[in-house]
Every structure is written in C-alpha cells, then in structure tokens.
Amino acid sequence: MSDSAARERDAAETESALGHPVVAPDGSAAYGGHPDQVIDFFAPRDGRTGVPLVVLLHGGAWRAPYDRQHVSPFADFLARRGFAVASVEYRRGGEIPQQGAAGPVAGRWPETFDDVAAAMDALPALAARELPGADLRKTVVTGHSAGGQLALWAAARHVLPEGSPWRLPAAPPLRGVVALAPIGDFASAVELDVCSGALHQLLGGADGFEARSAHVDPALLLPTGIATAVVQGADDITVPQAVTEAFVDAAAKAGEMVGLTLLDGVGHFPLIDPSADACAVVAEELAQLAW
C-alpha cells in the first residue's frame, strides 16, 4: 500500500472510530480530588452477574484533547458483550511550560502515573459499589495506544524499581492484560517518533528520560508473571507493528506469558471501533483471559 493510500485509510478509520455518539455511563465515581480523577462504570447490558470486570485505559498520546469519552462507545460495546467495564480518566498533558512545549504535550510527570496507580488501587471498592454484578476475581485491564502502555504498566507495578512510589508489594489481582496497539517499547517508539515526540514530553524531556523510563517503560518491566495478550493492526501507521513486536519479543525473552494477535488489513483505530470486525476480536481476547 502506498503512503498516501495508507494515510487515507487511516483517516477513514479514525473518522469511523471517533464518529460514534458518546455513550453515557451507568455511573461514575471519583478516586481523587482532581476533576480528571474519575472512573465511569458500564454495567453488563444483559443483566448477568458474576461477569468479568474490564478496566479500560484510553489512549490519545497522553494528551489532554483526548479523554475517556472517545472510548465510551467501545466500553458500551463490551458491556453489550456481557462485561462490566470501568473506564478510567487520568491527568493528561496540557500547556505546561516546564515540559518545554507551547502546545498540548503528552502526559504529566508524575501525575499521569499517580492517577493510574490511584485508580487501580481504588477500583476494588468502587467497582464493588458501582458494579455489583462484576466478579472482581475476573479482572482484566485493557488499553489502546498510550492507554496500552498504561495498561501494561498497571500490571507491572510489583516489579517497579525499589523506592518507586507506585511499586506494589505483590502482583495486582489481574487475570491478564489485553494491550491494543500499545506503546510498549520506548526505544523503538522514540526511534520511529511515535506520536510526534510524545514520549519525551511524557517523561519531561530528554534529561530525565533514561532514569524515568526505568519506572514506566513496559519493555523494561519484565516479566510480570501476568498473562498478556497484544492485539495489533498490521497496517497501523500511528503505532507501527515494529513497536509492538519489540515489546512482545522482549516479553518472550524475559519468560513472560505473552501472545500477539496480528490483524491483516487493520490500522490503529478499528481495535476500539464497535462497527469494525477488529473490535470483536478484542472482545474475544478479553473473554479468553477473563473467563
């Protein structure tokens, strides 16, 4: 496929995924005092109980213009497939002078990771209250793009370096992780300039990049001992296949339980587009781990 054709298809896929009406959650709850520290809850549409809980971390290059609303149709899709869903919001980047950018930057250090850690820690109690039909013993975390990085990181907090404020004393109680086109290997993502310098912005610039990467780069936090499935579109030009394969290779070499589902003819956004066949594949991957 030519570059122009790839860009045209990517634009069409993006328009389709982001063109669905926002779906209101069944409930929301705060896990902190900041307006972005909130979780939306979607109950299984068939009313069943004892169903798996999917924790959803949205993407958008960790940048403020992209919030959890753009994945609300995906959350509703999963709820219609019989899952309970908790869609997590977190602080993203804005115009932060100390991060050296005039426009929207990617993430806030350390607030983005403070929030994901706090949300994951608060979820058992909040989900028990807001989603009584969910079986919290069947919890799976998923995320798309930058959210895929956060999902992999949320499952790796017990292997963070000693002294990390986010480190857990034991593995989180997860059935697994389903990472969707994740920015899972920082070295390859930087080499390919994924999301136009987003990683350097996320980590606050080049000076602290290496030290901070040791705390948040999924490819460096292996093995976790938690089953990991990765779904990737072969024609993704936003997070190229090479980035995902670099993470999967690192995970396999570390002895991680990891699998890669590569979807031919699929780009970046069909993975979270309820009208796309790829979205059903994602639901199947979640079900295989959760049940």
Nearest Cα to Cα of residue 155 among 70, 80, 229 = 229
Q: Residue 102: what pLDDT?
A: 53
pLDDT, tens only, 42-57: 999 999 999 999 999 9
> Is the distance from CB of 37 to CB of 118 less than 8 angstroms?
yes
Tokens 């403070």 belong to 114
Q: Report pLDDT for 205.
A: 80
Q: Where are the domains of the chain?
A: 1-288
**pLDDT number for residue 105:** 80
Write b or e for each residue in 198-214: b if 16 or more Cβ atoms lie within 10 A of its Cβ, otherwise e: bbbbbbbbeeebeebbe
pLDDT over threshold 50, residue 96: no
| Residue of 59, 25, 75, 274 lying closest to 151 (CA atoms) | 59
- Cis, peptide link before residue 223, omega less than 30° from 0: yes
pLDDT of residue 1 exceeding 70? no
DSSP 48-113: -SSEEEEEEE--STTBTT--GGGGHHHHHHHHHTT-EEEEEP---B---GGGT-SS--B--TTHHH
Which residue, 285, 229, 238, is CA-closest to 266? 238
Confidence of residue 38 (pLDDT cuts 50, 70, 90): very high
DSSP 110-121: THHHHHHHHHHH
pLDDT tens readout for residues 222-256: 999 999 999 999 999 999 999 999 999 999 999 99
Q: What is the mean pLDDT of residues 177-198?
A: 96
What pTM does this model have?
Answer: 0.96
Give the integer Cα–Cα distance in Å for 124 and 128. 6
Q: Which pLDDT does position 204 carry in this prediction? A: 83
CA distance 198 to 208: 14
- 1-288 adopts what CATH topology? Rossmann fold (3.40.50)
